[in-house]
Structure 1
Amino acid sequence: MGLVGLRLEGSSVSVQGDGWAGIGWDWKDHDDIRRRLDRGADPEAWRGRRPLHRAAVFGSPEVVAELARRVADVDALENGVTALWEAVVSRKPDNARALAAAGADPWRRSLGGWSPGRLSLAGPTPDLFTAPPGEHLTDAERAAAQDATRLITALGSFHWDGTGLACVAGIDATEAIRRLEATPAPADIIDAALENPHTAERDETLRIVGVTSVPGGCAVTQPWGYAPQMPGVLTRLSVGTVCYGLYANPKSGNQGSVARDGAIEGWDLHPGGGPDEDDTPEEVLASYLYLYNAVAFTCAFAGLRPTGPRAVVGPPDLWVRLPERDYWKH
């Protein structure tokens, strides 16, 4: 039947469903949340999930504290993580403090062996919790966090929906062009694509990519399409090295892929999407550091260190045209 909502009968209140009818992703209204709870809304269930986890990410500290007082276990798990983990990963320090004040354990091990408290040491609020003896970052983890800050700052903020990108380690633009057997692109096709890529001739513009050398390697970009992430492009670029491909699909979100030494190693990945249950410790840290920043994640995976966004948004070092072939074959 789904969520049914609240039904008033005189001075009494009966609750149908779990009591959260009409509540979506906004959990900031403390008065409304408290009123629902007082009327019998289930503090343990919202659409088959946990309200406290939703509030940790999308709520206010007051709502988090209210729910934390009402649940049986403030450290209950959803998808393998606690509400405190969700608050830390989502950069909601006030919500994390409210959870810790309610008894949540910052040092409980979670994905990849990380605890919320130790993970916070690598983020923007390293003083969020008082670390007990032995809880600290390694030199490599600290360096990764510093590199992430530098990279995200260097790239800045820009719109990347619809962009295709391949970041290749250890080769420059000239070598990338050689591997792709690409040729300089005609100026009129480039001008048409840049002016309005959606009305330009698709067969022509899809084979046009920009290539730019950056510290650590090179970037192949297409501000209007997915060409850099096609398997036939990635496998050619990755011979003897590694590259990460990204297509920022406006309809379905960021799609990532990995090619290593001429073979596809990973497909349908989710760069910038946060840590997963099966991630290694290194993958958890990277997913945390580059949360919601798929472009920076893509660059970091390949070890690229651009000093600005030009390699992604253009103008590139050179616009080139890919030869006609089936790029969906590996």
Structure 2
Amino acid sequence: MAATDDVRWWGVNDWTDLNLVRAELATGADPNSDVPVFEKPLHAAADRGSPEVVAELATRVDDVDAENRGRTALWMAVFEGRTDNARALVSAGADPWRPMMAGWSPGRLSLAGPTPHLFPLPSPDAGLSEAEAAAVAEAGRLIPALGDLYYDGLSLACVADVSATEATARLEAAPADDVDIEALYEAWWNTPDADLIIGITDVPGGCVITQPWGNTASTPGVIKRVSPGTVCYSMYANPKGGSSGDVARDGAVITAWEPCVAYTVPTDALAEEILAAYLYRGHPVAFCCAGADLRLAHAGPIIGSSATWLRLPKRDWWT
């Protein structure tokens, strides 16, 4: 049966099911057409499918290196750590060193990950720069240092090159010596003005502002006030909607960020932004720390175990 525009992979939710994919192809689904969420079948399989499905689709498409939203299926597989899928694509003729995404070909990207020898280098100078290698090494140190911490409901601001004393002054905050912090952890919802209590800790490279029970530490009013002359990476781990945050620069410019997967890395992102997205995928707390170049040795400042506790003045912290 010939492929038609009317048959567009509606029956495939599991890209690891080779029989299901073959059945869809047999009914006329086009291996080159979009699936319902506007991605290509080979890209979807490379991202979250099995090597068997990847190999099947790779023999059916017109171009195994066709790009979708600025990246090939092989780039997707490498970004998501699907090394078996990457190998299947290369076996089908995909080019690991095809230039894309601010110079991050699939091959160069793999050099920053856990399988740097996934593809043979095309030349001795195709490796990482000194700065890129340093960023990879820091991610390899920072993520284990923070450990597997529980952070649902937590907000965080990582401020570069600003001490806790200076940040406290910028926020016009006062010591919260009258607050029982342990009781606040247990029942913050029953504590008046709990949203105004934050923790702050000096760390190598700057300071960390945290609120383990709410979003105040990541609000625009906080991050704008602490960021003049520097940068602040913030996040809120919303138990109902995942983690996201903002980057404030020099007290004014705020840019939103969300944890990246292979499809959400902006095609116009800078090279260092793409590398950070890759290194810290699934680790939003470490992403914020690294963005502000804070070199934490443990998670104490994040969860507030080493914090000085402050009370913010009453004002609209969302402006």
Q: Could you say whether these structures have the same fold, taking a TM-score greater than 0.5 normalized by the shorter chain as the test?
A: yes
Query: Is 2:101 the partner of 1:142?
Result: no
How many residue pairs match? The answer is: 314
Structure 2 SS opposite 1:147: helix
**Structure 2 residues not aligned, in runs of 5+:** none
Q: For 2:286, which of 281, 296, 305 is the aligned residue?
A: 296
Q: Measure, in 2, the Cα distance between the counterparts of 1:14 and 1:292.
A: 38
Q: Determine if the alignment matches structure 1 residue 248 to structure 2 residue 237.
A: yes
Q: Report which stretch shifted further, 78-87 or 269-278.
A: 269-278
**How far off its partner does 1:188 sit?**
4.7
Equivalent in 302, 305, 310 of residue 312 of structure 1: 302
Contact 1:257 1:266 in 2 (8 A): yes
After superposition, the CA RMSD in angstroms is 2.2
Aligned to 1:166: 157
Alpha-carbon spacing, 1:327–1:52, altered in 2? closer, same or farther (3 Å)? same
Task: Find the counterpart in structure 2 of residue 60 from structure 1.
Answer: 50
Instruction: Name the structure 1 match of 2:181.
Output: 190
Q: For residues 1-330 of structure 1, what are the structure 2 equivalents within 5 Å? A: 17-18=6-7, 20-24=9-13, 26-45=14-33, 46-47=35-36, 48-133=38-123, 134-186=125-177, 188=179, 190-197=181-188, 199-201=189-191, 204-263=193-252, 265-273=253-261, 275-329=265-319
| One-letter code aligned to 1:39 | T
Which one-letter code corresponds to 1:28 in the other structure? T
Instruction: Describe the SS at the equivalent of 2:289.
Output: helix
Whether the 8 Å CA contact 1:248–1:254 is kept in 2: the answer is: yes
Partners of 1:272 and 1:297 within 8 A in 2: no
Mean Cα deviation higher: 210-219 or 272-281: 272-281
Instruction: Render the CA deviation track for 1:286-318: whole Å, top value 9, x for unaligned.
Output: 111111211111000101011111111222321
User: Whole-Å Cα distance in 2 between the matches of residues 195 and 285 of structure 1?
Assistant: 38
Distance in 2 (CA, whole Å) between partners of 1:190 and 1:204 is: 13
Contact 2:12 2:21 in 1 (8 A): no
Deviations 1:229-277 (A, max 9, x none): 21221122112322111122333432221222222x2332224455311
**Structure 1: any 5+ residue segments left out of the alignment?**
1-11
- 8 Å Cα contact 2:200/2:304 also seen in 1: no
Q: Partner letter of residue 291 of structure 1?
A: R
State the one-letter code of the partner of 1:144. A
| Counterpart Cα distance in 2 of 1:83 and 1:189 | 53
Distance in 2 (CA, whole Å) between partners of 1:13 and 1:244 is 52
**Aligned partners of 2:160 and 2:206 also within 8 Å:** yes
Residue identity matched to 1:216: G
- How far off its partner does 1:213 sit? 1.4
Q: Distance in 2 between matches of 1:272 and 1:225?
A: 23
Q: Which amino acid aligns with 1:152?
A: I
Q: Which has the larger displacement, 94-103 or 38-47?
A: 38-47
Q: Secondary structure at the match of 1:308?
A: coil
TM-score (norm. length: structure 2)? 0.91
Question: Structure 1 residue 186: deviation in Å?
Answer: 5.0
TM-score, normalised to structure 1, is: 0.88
8 Å Cα contact 1:180/1:236 also seen in 2: yes
Measure how far apart 1:179 and its partner are: 2.1
